[in-house]
Amino acid sequence: MKRGVVLTKIGEFKLNKTNSLVINLISLLVFVLATSAFLKLYNLNFLNYILNINFLLLIFCLFVIIIILHEFIHGIAYKFFGAKLKFGFKHLNIYTADTSGNVYGTKEMFVIMFSPLLFLSALFIILSYFFKKTYFYFAFCTIFNMACSIGDIILFIYMLSKGGDCKIKDTNHGFLMYKKS
């Protein structure tokens, strides 16, 4: 941001218990609906999978790996724009935050917020093509990644609702949104 530019706060998103609960419930709903649709599409019995402890353990491990990769990719995107990173866990959310005080435009935030969704989804689709016998697991990985991205999508829509030219500052507690005065 250029020196002498005055910014007025126009919005805020706090990572608090209520917002975290809402985002996690929406993510869970997306995951359940997408998984159900996938299993139905391929005529797979949902109960055969959900009652198999080995399958559930594998899915849990994939979920943890995807969350870590997802946040790592956010970090790479942030670093591309000169961020100083902090990774954390708060209210059942793992997050990546920029503690440098940088202010970003919506284009930069699009790159930061959507990189994990786009990159990991493309990776899982490509891997499922090359490893056809295990496409099933890559489909779950893609569904997990979509569910993990729900918070990013909701936040980006909220940012856009404040105006395409708004400026965003990441904090340890969420996002602050500004416009030029």
CA distance 4 to 82: 21
Residue 65: how many CB atoms within 10 A of its CB? 12
Residue 6: how many CB atoms within 10 A of its CB? 8
Handedness of CA 17, 171, 6, 109 (dihedral sign): negative
> What is the model's pLDDT at position 144?
92
> What is the model's pLDDT at position 1?
55
Q: pTM higher than 0.95 for the full model?
A: no
CA distance 17 to 151: 14
> What is the model's pLDDT at position 2?
56
Q: What are the per-10-residue average pLDDT scores of the chain (181 residues)? A: 76 90 93 87 73 82 92 94 86 82 92 96 94 85 93 92 89 87 76
